[in-house]
Structure 1
Amino acid sequence: MPTVIAVHGDITKQKVDAIVNTANNKMRGGGGVDGAIHRAGGRAILLDCIERFPNGLATGDAGWTTAGDLPAQWIIHTVGPNYRAGQRDRSLLTSCYGRALEVADELGARSIAFPLISAGIYGWPLEDAIAAAIGTIVAADTQVEEVRVVAFDAAAYEEVRQQLSRGV
C-alpha cells in the first residue's frame, strides 16, 4: 500500500515521477487542471496527446505522455466522469484512480500526484470525490510508493487531510 499524503498546492509544481491530469475525452487540452498542466508543461504535451490519442480517451481510462517542461517525468491523463452532465456512475471515477496507478506501474513510477478528479468543473460532490480517491488508492495493488493528493483550494485540502486522518 502506498503512503498517501495530502498536499495544498499547485499540481504543476510537484516533484514526482508522474503527475495525473484530469483530461477531457478529446485529449487536446482544456480548462482547470488540464489547462494548467498544458500551460505549464508546454506544447510537447499537446503534441504527444495528438500522437498517442488520435481518437481521444474514454471516460474512466488513462494513458501517458511526456511531462514537457514540468518537474515530473510523465503526465498520466485520465478522463473523469462529468457529474453535471449526468455521468454519476462512481465506478467511472474510481476507475480513473485505478487505471492511473496501473499506468504508473507500467512506467515504473514510484511517486505520483493526483488532483481531485471530477471535483472541479465536472461537479462531483467534494466529500465523495475525496472518499473515492483515497479508498481506491489505499486498496490498490501497486508498486507506487508515494501518492500525493493535491488540492489547490484550502477547504478541499482540509477535507483530504481529515479523511486521511480518519482512515477513510
Structure 2
Amino acid sequence: MRGAALYFLESTMEYDKSKFKSMDVSFGYTGIKLFDPSELDKAQLGYSVHPNGEPLTGMEQGDWQESWVVIGHITDCGDPIFVDISTDDLVVFTATHGRGFWVAELISSSYYSFLAVMDKFLKLSQDRSFPVELENNPMTRAEYDEFVSFVSDTAKISDTFFWELLVSDEESGIGPEI
C-alpha cells in the first residue's frame, strides 16, 4: 500500500524539490517546521494522497487542490504550510486541518519572500524558543510591530493575522486583537 501512495505522488506531482529548504523555528509554545526536500513525498500523505494511494484532491471548493504541495507544518497544531506549484512565485498558504474541508489562508505571496520572513522569525525566536525562555525574555511591542511590518512589506500581504498570532505573547499583552 505504501508503495502505491509514493507511486501516485511521483507520477502526478512534478516540481523541483531542491527549491525547498528545511528549517525548524520554535517560538514559545509554537513554531514552524519546514520539511527537508527528501521528506516532501511523505508529507503529502493525508493531504493530496491517501496512504492507500488514492488521490484526495478535487476541483470543488473546500477540496485539497492538486497543485498544493505541503512543505511544512505549524508545530503546536500540525496545520500544514503549503505552496501552490501552479503559480510561478509558489504562493504560500496554511489551512486548518480536521474540518472536513480546506480553506487556504495566504501567508506569503511567494516562497522566497516566505523564506525571508522565516529568517526574520528565526532571529525573533533567539532566546525565545521555549515557553520559559519567552517568559524570561519577552518580546517588546517594538519588536512585535517591526516583525508585523516586515511581514506585510516582505510577504506582500495585507492580512498578517497568521504571523501576528504566531508571535503573540499573551503574558505581555502583545498580539492581535481577537
TM-score above 0.5, yes or no: no
Between structures 1 and 2, the one with greater helix share? 1
The higher radius of gyration belongs to 2
User: TM-score, with normalisation over the residues of structure 1?
Assistant: 0.33
